[in-house]
Amino acid sequence: MRAISQEVLGGPEVLSVVERPLPALGPTDVLVRVHAAGVNPTDWLHRNTGLYLGRPPFVVGWDVSGVVEAVGVGVTIYEPGDEVFGMLDYPRGAGGYAEYAAAPARNLVHKPEGLDHVHAAALPVVALTAWQALVDTADVQPGHRVLIHAAAGGVGHVAVQIAKARGAYVIGTASAGKHEFVRGLGADEVIDYTTTDFAETVRDVDMVFDAVGGDYSLRSLRTMRRGGTLVAIVFAKREQVVAQAKDYGVRVKHLTVEADQAGMAAIAGLVEQGRLRVHVDAVLPLEQADEAQRRGATGRTTGKLVLSVRSGV
């Protein structure tokens, strides 16, 4: 199969198209013929540092949508030919930038009929991250005031919609040019972080979802009610944030996304109900994975970038 691999750590230029054997299929695994693969910041983080994957060579990527090619011993919920999408085992089960990927069967769910492979591949990592922050960790309820940073980004724009589906009042931060987009997702207020200090204007927040981290987490504490929850997915200044949160009576959690079939099923349900849509900023062919990562790392994309792995997708 074709895959995007790297022999050394470094910038996008280290990525290249290679031929690799098909992934081994173990008991309870599913082999997916990948049609599209999502692109996420953790992809270039691992490309640069190796982080949880160690030393190259390796294939990054955790978001996949495709068709079941084969099932391992003991799999009862899928058959070859089923259309599925989901997240490979994060963080060590990478391999999405390839024509085939293997995953535990229960990392995947059936793809909604009305969702194409490109948009399905854009969802798993960001939607599971947002779901696990807003629902599993903070238990957002109707009427809660939720502040979402980077609300036009990959995970942020999905978080806005999940929070609204939970009945929350949503405040998002985004640059002025993206305000219309964020309001279109359902946000009740949008703050231009380039001209306005949200920490001086926002108050009585029950939950903060922070995809920026560091000073954003520290400043967000000033916006919160006692007993509120701040969930950050960037760990910068973690100890300082936790220590200061005690003075504000705020609970702080730093979250790393996990594979979760129940969460994926809930996300698929929101898609089928028309309550969640993912915005795809651009689709690039697998061979241009380096360019996709260059674009993503600028931080200027709206929504998600996706790699088309099969022709015609």
Whether 187 and 79 share a structural domain: no
Whether residue 106 is found in the same domain as residue 133: no
Q: Which of 239, 254, 269 is the last residue of a domain?
A: 254
pLDDT (0 to 100) of residue 305: 98
- Is 152:303 a contact under the CB 8 Å cutoff? yes
108 shares a domain with 29: yes
Residue 267 lies in a domain: no
Direct distance between the N- and C-terminal alpha carbons of the chain, in angstroms, rounded to an integer = 17
Residue 205, in any domain of the structure:
yes
Whether 47 is in a domain gets the answer yes
Longest dimension (CA), the chain: 57
Domain CATH number, residue 80: 3.90.180.10
Residue 112 forms part of a structural domain: yes
223 and 135, same structural domain?
A: yes
> Does some domain include residue 268?
no
- Does residue 292 lie within any of the structural domains? yes
- Confidence at residue 313, expressed as pLDDT on a 0 to 100 scale: 77
Q: Helix axis angle, 154-165 relative to 261-272, nearest 10°? A: 80
Q: Give the burial class of 175: count Cβ atoms within 10 A of its Cβ; 0-12 exposed, 13-18 middle, 19 or more buried.
A: middle
Tokens of 215: 């000073």
State what percent of residues in the chain have pLDDT above 70. 100
Same structural domain for residues 42 and 93? yes
| pLDDT at residue number 311 | 79
Cis amide linkage into residue 104, ω under 30° from 0: no
Whether residue 237 is contained in a domain is answered as yes
Residues 115 and 132 in one domain: no
Assess whether pLDDT exceeds 80 at residue 312. Answer: no
pLDDT digits (tens, 9 = 90+) for 119-165: 999 999 999 999 999 999 999 999 999 999 999 999 999 999 999 99
Kindly state whether residues 75 and 174 are assigned to the same domain. Answer: no
Q: How far is CA 212 from CA 85, 153, 237, 254, in A?
A: 27, 10, 11, 12
Q: In terms of domains, do 100 and 195 share one?
A: no
| Measured distance CA(5)–CA(137) in Å, rounded | 35
Q: What is the pLDDT of residues 194-243, one digit of tens each?
A: 999 999 999 999 999 999 999 999 999 999 999 999 999 999 999 999 99
Q: pTM above the 0.95 mark?
A: yes
Residues 159 and 202 in one domain: yes
Q: Tell me, what's the pLDDT at 275?
A: 98
Total domains, the chain: 2
pLDDT at 250 over 90: yes
Q: How large is the average pLDDT for residues 31-35?
A: 98
For residue 24, count CB atoms less than 10 angstroms from its CB and return exposed for 0-12, middle for 13-18, buried for 19 or more.
Answer: exposed
Residue 118 lies in a domain: yes
pLDDT tens digits, one per residue of 269-280: 999 999 999 999
Mean pLDDT score across all residues of the chain: 97
Residue range 279-294: average pLDDT? 98
103-132 mean pLDDT? 98
Residue 103 pLDDT greater than 80, yes or no: yes
- Structural domain for 237, as ranges: 126-254
Helix-helix angle 261-272:124-131, to 10 degrees: 100
Residues 131 and 118 in one domain: no
